[in-house]
Amino acid sequence: EYQSAEIQKHVTRTMLANAKQGNWNGQTPPFGYMTVAVPQPKGKDRKKLKHDPATMHIPQFIFETYVNGYEGQKVGITRLAQILNERGERIRGKPFHVSNVHWILNNTAYIGVVMYNQRDSRTRETRSEDEWIPIPIPPLISEDLFYAAKAQMAARNPKMGVAAEKNGTNLLTGVAVCGCGGDGCGGGMTTATGKSGQYRYYACSRRATA
């Protein structure tokens, strides 16, 4: 039992070090991305994320349609899921559900950073933010489009803020920093005021004070 625990600690240390180097540890990539092996001078190949040519258009369509509308009409998350299914789009082989669309709209992986080590794999509890490890990936959309979608979600449901809409999930299922890539980059809750009142969202602390 002791030996098993020590092996697990070693595996965990190795995976954390791998993530700190910007490598992917093998979990399922965000929808619209795929893994690619990157040869190393010594040792095994490392994995990075890149756009998946077969699916990358779908998250882009989701953000653009949610912000700009479809056929001249504004659409909510429920209608957007219906549109995707009417177009024959699938997410990992299955029809789109409202929760899938909400997850994508709340996931800042699409502006260039995935957070690793957010949760304890055994307890599923969220770790403190200083333990999170940002992994930069190629963005699929602009930050302007991402935050426009955030503001629109808040305007549609100001009581719940950007982290909830019908059949939605918590914002923390996404990631909490942007793609600024600088030292001190970190996620934090920011309050902003729009036409519908105040709303809250996660944003890079450097970006918020720039």
Average pLDDT rounded to a whole number, residues 165-172:
35
Q: What is the pLDDT of residue 14?
A: 59
* Structural domain includes residue 130: yes
Domain assignment present for 5:
no
Rounded distance, CA 207 to CA 178, Å? 8
Tokens of 183: 């030292």
Residue type present at position 70: Y
**Per-residue model confidence as pLDDT tens digits over 68-91:** 999 999 999 999 999 999 999 999
17 has a pLDDT exceeding 50: yes
First vs last C-alpha separation in the chain: 51
Q: Which range of residues forms the domain containing residue 48?
A: 26-209
Angle at the Cα of 12 (from 6 to 18), degrees rounded to 5? Answer: 140
Evaluated on CA atoms 142, 203, 126, 169, the torsion sign reads negative
Whether residue 123 lies inside any domain: the answer is yes
Residue among 100, 101, 107, 104 at smallest CA distance from 75: 101
How big is the chain by its Cα radius of gyration, in Å?
Answer: 18
Would you state the pLDDT for residue 87?
97
Name the one residue in this structure whose structure tokens are 């995976």.
Answer: 15
Domain total in the chain: 1
CATH number of the domain that residue 102 is part of: 3.90.1750.20
More confident residue, 118 or 110: 110
pLDDT (average), residues 137-151: 95
